[in-house]
Amino acid sequence: MLRIPIAERRDWRATALEYGFHFHTLYGEPYWDESAYYQFSLKQIEHHIEDPTAEIHQMCLDVVDRVVRDEQLLHRFQIPQRFWDLIARSWYNRDPSLYSRIDLAYDGVGPAKLLENNADTPTSLYETGFWQWLWLQQQVDRGAVDRLADQFNSLQERLINRFQQLKLTMPDQQLHMACCKDTVEDRGTVQYLQDCAEQAGIASDFVYVEDIGLNSRHRFVDLKAEPIRWLFKLYPWEFMQREAYGEHLARCETRFLEPIWKTILSNKALLPLLWQLFPNHPNLLPAYFEDDPKAATLTHYVRKPIYSREGANISIVKDGEVVEQADGPYGEEGFIVQAYHPLPRFGDNHTLIGSWLVNDQPAGISVREDRSAITQDLSRFLPHIIL
């Protein structure tokens, strides 16, 4: 695993415009960064990332299977009681999922360590599945990257295939896609999924989450008052369950992507449960609920809210002192602690691997860098190759 500087494509901004990549610069800071790339060996990719990703995912599903039938654990996961049945039913039906991303700390040598699972609303999909693919294609064509170079990135192909499978379960149905207003990044992610769905032959339409309505038959509707029968929502289940329309989820007859059983996976309580069910697994870090007496065995740890996004409200504690902290609005549902495992450093950068799955198949990686030890939404995205 190497970080190799390379000249930017001189025309990449024009290319970004051409392909509709509009969030390469966020909050005035570069987000897409092609001044360097990461190089992995095939063995690193397959043995250290791809295989563990599939295995971690299966372990996570084991946790879901355990939690849905255990009231005490459902409480522990801070899932409102009125959704327990709905979640269990969705799990027993095996309501199909589309995708997820697990975040790994990996330095090219030791086993990759699971930091968390973004199973419900993962972003950076477009830049992974399409944009870094195009970067490699062009850099190889221009002779800037070895023409034997490959990339761990079958994301777009697998998404389209997955949509083709899902289409069979919802024949002739339109798929509505939703995200919040005022976020160009989320809109870009959803636009990409619309493109993939349409390439799979699914008719799609878009509605903002805030514009979703409710009709007199307890159906969610779009702005044209048409019922939403099938909805991809880039919006967290834990929010939906706590909002005004949450009470209609059981009756609305909308089929959701991701399915509601993912509430259990996109929850940091997953981490102590994994450690409890698979103690000392090489890809896991010790993790406990904060009020568990065993939490005291950790002297250097990361404290994470049960519900949080993008590193918010995370603090790193060493020997009782907070050494690094990220602010945010989360934490009222409680915290978990996870043994501290530093992200590998390349120069000044802390590097995080996002490992993607489409349904349960590993599908590629994204590499993000941050100047701080806690990766937040100002991190930069770098392309990678396999050589």
Partner 1 sequence: MKRSSRIDLARMRKTCGPSLRISARLTLVGAGTLALSGCSSDEAYIYQTVSECALDNPEALFQCQAAYEQAQAEWTQTAPRYRNRSDCEYEFGDSSCDVHQGLFIPLMMGFMLAQAGGDSDFDVDFRRPKPLTTSRNKRSPVYEKWTGARGWVYGDYYQNKVSVDKSVFKPLKGKAKVLGRGGFGKIAAGRSRGG
The residue among 203, 221, 204 whose CA lies nearest residue 212 is 221
Q: Which of 216, 279, 280, 327 binds partner 1 (CB under 8 A)?
A: 216
Least gap, CB of 61 to partner 1 (angstroms): 18
Q: Which of 2, 4, 214, 323 binds partner 1 (CB under 8 A)?
A: 214
**Six token digits for residue 387:** 């050589």
The residue among 262, 172, 252, 160 whose CA lies nearest residue 215 is 252
Which lies closer to partner 1 via its Cβ, residue 67 or residue 234?
234
Least gap, CB of 380 to partner 1 (angstroms): 15
Q: Which of 47, 248, 318, 371 binds partner 1 (CB under 8 A)?
A: 248
Least gap, CB of 350 to partner 1 (angstroms): 18
Least gap, CB of 199 to partner 1 (angstroms): 6
Site for partner 1 in 53-112 (CB under 8 A): 101
Interaction between residue 377 and partner 1 (CB under 8 A): yes
Beta-sheet strand order (sheet of 230-233):
204-208, 175-179, 230-233, 255-257
Cα separation, 253 vs 103, in Å, equals 33
Least gap, CB of 297 to partner 1 (angstroms): 28
Q: Which of 243, 253, 291, 360 binds partner 1 (CB under 8 A)?
A: 243
Q: Which of 8, 55, 65, 195 binds partner 1 (CB under 8 A)?
A: 195
Least gap, CB of 246 to partner 1 (angstroms): 8
Site for partner 1 in 252-291 (CB under 8 A): 266
Place of tokens 């981490």: 271
Site for partner 1 in 345-364 (CB under 8 A): 364
Q: Which of 2, 19, 110, 318 binds partner 1 (CB under 8 A)?
A: 19
Residue span binding partner 1 (CB under 8 A) among the ranges 69-77, 154-162, 280-288, 295-303:
154-162
Q: Which of 13, 61, 111, 206 binds partner 1 (CB under 8 A)?
A: 206
Site for partner 1 in 102-131 (CB under 8 A): 118, 120-124, 129-130
Which lies closer to partner 1 via its Cβ, residue 39 or residue 151?
151
Cα separation, 246 vs 267, in Å, equals 18
Orientation of helix 184-199 relative to helix 155-169, angle to 10°: 70
Least gap, CB of 370 to partner 1 (angstroms): 14
The residue among 275, 339, 333 whose CA lies nearest residue 306 is 333
Q: Which of 114, 193, 212, 316 binds partner 1 (CB under 8 A)?
A: 212
Site for partner 1 in 294-333 (CB under 8 A): 309-310, 312, 328-330
Cα separation, 120 vs 240, in Å, equals 12
DSSP for 118-158? E-SS---HHIIIIIHHHHHHHHHHTTSS-TT-B-SB-HHHH
Cα separation, 24 vs 17, in Å, equals 10
Q: Which long-range contacts (CB under 8 A, 24 or more apart) does 14-19 make?
A: 15/134, 15/138, 16/131, 19/130, 19/131, 19/134
Degrees, nearest 5: CA angle 87-91-96: 115
Site for partner 1 in 219-238 (CB under 8 A): 219, 221, 225, 227, 234-236
8 Å CB contact between 335 and 349: no
